[in-house]
């Protein structure tokens, strides 16, 4: 998967990833015909990532009623995802992108500067994919608090 700018209306990049949750692995083809919310987050069990996951969890029944599935993605391992998911009872799968293939395909790896130390990290980003497998919405530099509710409003507007 080569990185490219993800734009509204383009087909979602193909992927197949290990998952903790409903299935042991998930590909985009498994979800054809379903609205999919893929949210990328930096690290399991950190404050912002926990807030975001908890808000998606609280609204999960409404996402399901709107015909949508949620997928959380980080570079953490399946073991880390299991611990994080069980601790907060996340009802949706967490994808382990340990090889960064998904992060690169969705172009969410960005240079970060933390107290003068420069490294590559995941830019908190969300992608909504329509039932036909096309990108319907993109949001980057997401602020965790309140984000799930805003995404739910977008999902409810999709045909």
Return the percentage of the chain with pLDDT > 90, whole number. Answer: 76
| pTM given for the model | 0.92
- Can you give the residue ranges of every domain in the chain? 16-157
Pairing mode, strands 125-129 and 35-40:
antiparallel
Q: Give 26: exposed, middle or buried? Use CB within 10 Å, 0-12, 13-18, 19+.
A: buried
DSSP state, 13? P
Topology annotation, domain 16-157: Glutaredoxin (3.40.30)
> For 1-47, how does the pLDDT look when each residue is reduced to its tens digit (9 = 90+)?
444 578 899 999 889 899 998 778 899 888 889 999 999 999 999 98
Catalytically active residues are 49
Q: In sequence order, what DSSP letters do the residues of 100-132 get, joined into one string?
A: -HHHHHTT-EEEEEETTEEEEEEPPEEEEE-TT
């Amino acid at each position: 998967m080569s990185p490219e700018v993800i734009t509204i209306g383009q087909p979602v990049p193909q992927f197949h990833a290990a998952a903790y949750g409903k299935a042991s692995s998930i590909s985009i083809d498994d979800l054809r015909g379903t609205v999919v919310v893929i949210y990328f987050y930096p690290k399991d069990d950190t404050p912002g990532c926990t807030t975001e996951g908890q808000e998606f969890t609280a609204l999960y029944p409404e996402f399901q009623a709107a015909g949508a599935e949620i997928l959380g993605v980080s570079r953490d391992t399946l073991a880390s995802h299991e611990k994080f998911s069980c601790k907060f009872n996340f009802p949706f799968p967490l994808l382990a992108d340990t090889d960064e293939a998904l992060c690169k395909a969705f172009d969410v790896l960005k240079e970060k500067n933390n107290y003068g130390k420069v490294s590559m990290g995941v830019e908190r980003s969300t992608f909504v994919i329509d039932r036909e497998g096309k990108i319907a919405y993109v949001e980057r530099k997401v602020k965790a608090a309140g984000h799930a509710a805003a995404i739910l409003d977008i999902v409810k507007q999709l045909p």
